Structures are given as C-alpha cells and as structure tokens.
C-alpha cells in the first residue's frame, strides 16, 4: 500500500496490508513534475513503483478493461503489460484461513440476528384476519417487515456487521414466491403463511460477506408448503453430501434437478423458462461479494477446489402458494465440506 506521508502511520495501524510505504519512497514529486501532464505523471509514478517492486522481466497481468493510455505509458516505461481475463476473480475463488474465519464470524452474527427475528415472530400473537401482533410500549401493534428488520439491524450494529439495501430479505405470504423480493417495511406478517428470511451481510471492517436463509411459519403450514419444505431440505442435504474438492458443479446441479423433478417440481434445466419450481441457481461462491465465483451450475466446467466457500441454496416457489428457501454456507475440503451454518432448520414455530 502506498499512501501520502501523513497517512503512513494510520495505514500501518489500521490496514491488513503488511507493507505500507509513502509516495515519497518512490520519488513521487520529481516524477509527476517532470511529466508534460500531471495525469500522465501519475501513471509514470505507477510504472516507477512497478519497476521497483516487481520483476520487470516478467509479464505484468492487468484487467482487459485497463485504459489504453495507461497500458501505452506503462509499456513506454519498459514494462511488459498483458491483459488477462479474471485474474482477481480466479484468485478470489479460494479463501485463506483468515478470510474463512472472517466469513465464519459474520455468519455467527447473521445467525444471531436470524434467531432474534424468529423469536420475535414466534412470540407474537395472532390477531384479527390472522395478522401477527407484538407488544410495544404496552400496546399491541401489527408485526411488519420493518419491525423485524429493525430487530435484525440492531444485532448487526452491535457486532460491527452491515447489510446494504436488499441484503436482508424478508418475504412473507405470496410475496415469498418472488425469489428476489426483499420486503417492504409496511409488509404485514400473518399466521399460517411462509416467511423467507435470507441474510447476506458483511463485516464492516474486512468487507467479507456471508449468506444464509431459512423459511419459517407462525402457526400451521398447508400440505403444499410442508411438501415443498421437506423436498427442499432433503435436496439441500443430498447436495451437501456431494460437495467436495474435484466434484463437478454441473454434476451437483444435475443431482438437485433430478431430486426436485422426481418429487414433481419444475427446474430450469437446460435454460427452461418456468414460473414456479426452482427459480435460481443451487449455489454460489461467497467472499468480498455475496454472490461470486464459483457458481454451482452446469453452465461452467468447474471442479470444486479445497477452500472454496460456497452456498447450498435450494428453493421452491409457487405464485399461488408462496415460497420456501433454505441456504447453508460451506467450506470445501479434500474429502467433503465443512458446514459453517449452525442455525436449525424448521418450519412451524
């Protein structure tokens, strides 16, 4: 990390980077002043840093969208610059131990928040028209998505975890059939209807995400919802059993498709357009983004690697009934996988 002189001490104290330097360690002022344009001087300064810190006999790989003027100046300064796709994305597919530990810490906070949200729903009373009610300042009030979200955000704030817009999904009733619906504050929670809770917050300091989902229901579930729930849980468990280093993501997706179709539900096999059934991928990588490589999909020829951190995310959706989604987060190992999710899986509360 290279920063202005006044920020060196702070960067050494607060950042995770081992080597922190000042601009002045690389003759910043003389390089920039000698250029015909300050902006060109800044690029030449980058070249000077690269020549001092990197082996200039080797190729320096850059993203394919690097500006042409930057590439031209770096090459003019004697650097061998060549574009390459997915350099950072490939590096991020596997996680170091400290990265996995950070994800695990955020996961514990997400589960703490989810447990508190479920307890709030469980402790509510069923009022007129099956509307759930909770006590606030000694008065009964309608239980809404906004109230549950405030409960969740309180836990996140206490644990230095943040969730940006859309990163806390609370979808209730028929709206749970929309796999992308995050929930509006005024949405009312009712008894006997599925409530999908899907959280993918991140560490405020290290920025690593987690991703976990559960579906709960206050009261009695219909047979259709129970069947969907049991099928999703069974398929998710079978998927986890198949996940290990060198396992094909295509084979894992097909396993899930086979089980769901055998149970009578539709899938997106071969890009089929459907309006109910499994409406999203069965899993994805998690790290600095809540959804990153590798995708658990047949559209890529990927074999899982040791230290991938991925999700097993199974769901079934029907616009006439509602939706069910269960998601665990896993670390891939040589022989199987380590489930980083500890929160229970249950429907009726």
pLDDT over 70, % of the chain: 100
Tell me the backbone φ, ψ of residue 259, rounded to 5 degrees.
Answer: -65, -40
Instruction: Tell me: pLDDT of 56 over 90.
Output: no
Whether residue 277 contacts residue 260, with contact meaning beta carbons closer than 8 Å, is answered with yes
- pLDDT value of residue 1: 92
- pLDDT value of residue 184: 96
Class of domain 94-339: alpha beta
- Reported as a single tens digit per residue, the pLDDT across 123-176 is 999 998 999 999 988 899 999 999 999 999 999 999 999 998 889 999 999 999
Of the pLDDT bands very low, low, confident and very high (cuts 50, 70, 90), residue 55 is confident
What is the DSSP secondary-structure string of 59-71? -EEE-TT--HHHH
The residue extents of the domains of the chain are 2-85, 94-339
Of the pLDDT bands very low, low, confident and very high (cuts 50, 70, 90), residue 15 is confident
Instruction: Tell me: pLDDT of 273 over 90.
Output: yes
In angstroms, the CA 174 to CA 194 distance is 8
In angstroms, the CA 263 to CA 257 distance is 10
In angstroms, the CA 124 to CA 158 distance is 24
| Mean pLDDT of the chain, nearest integer | 95
- pLDDT value of residue 45: 94
- Reported as a single tens digit per residue, the pLDDT across 21-34 is 999 999 999 999 99
Helix (H, G, I), strand (E, B) or coil at 232: helix
- pLDDT value of residue 309: 98
């Amino acid at each position: 990390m290279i920063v202005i002189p006044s920020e060196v001490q702070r960067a050494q104290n607060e950042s995770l980077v081992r080597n922190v330097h000042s601009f002045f360690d690389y003759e910043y002022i003389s390089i920039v002043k000698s250029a015909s344009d300050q902006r060109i001087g800044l690029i030449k300064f980058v070249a000077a840093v690269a020549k001092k810190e990197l082996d200039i006999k080797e190729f320096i790989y850059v993203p394919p969208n690097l500006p042409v003027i930057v590439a031209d100046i770096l090459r003019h300064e004697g650097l061998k610059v060549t574009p390459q796709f997915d350099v950072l994305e490939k590096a991020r597919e596997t996680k170091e131990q400290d990265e996995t530990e950070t994800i695990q810490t955020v996961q514990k906070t997400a589960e703490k928040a989810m447990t508190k949200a479920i307890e709030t729903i469980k402790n509510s009373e069923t009022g007129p028209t099956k509307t759930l009610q909770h006590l606030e300042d000694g008065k009964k009030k309608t239980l809404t998505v906004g109230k549950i979200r405030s409960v969740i955000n309180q836990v996140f704030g206490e644990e230095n975890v943040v969730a940006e817009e859309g990163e806390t999904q609370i979808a209730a009733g028929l709206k749970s059939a929309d796999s992308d619906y995050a929930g509006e504050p005024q949405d009312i929670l009712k008894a006997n209807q599925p409530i999908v809770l899907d959280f993918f917050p991140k560490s405020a300091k290290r920025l690593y995400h987690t991703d976990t989902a559960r579906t709960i229901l206050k009261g009695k579930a219909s047979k259709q919802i129970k069947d969907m729930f049991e099928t999703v849980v069974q398929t998710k468990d079978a998927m986890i059993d198949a996940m290990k280093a060198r396992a094909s993501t295509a084979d894992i997706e097909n396993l899930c498709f086979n089980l769901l179709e055998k149970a009578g539900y539709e899938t997106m096999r071969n890009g089929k357009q459907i309006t109910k059934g499994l409406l999203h991928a069965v899993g994805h990588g998690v790290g600095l983004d809540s959804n990153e490589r590798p995708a658990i999909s047949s559209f890529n020829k990927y074999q899982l690697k040791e230290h991938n951190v991925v999700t097993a995310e199974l769901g079934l959706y029907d616009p006439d009934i509602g939706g069910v989604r269960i998601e665990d987060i896993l670390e891939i190992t040589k022989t199987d996988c380590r489930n980083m999710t500890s929160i229970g899986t249950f429907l009726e509360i």
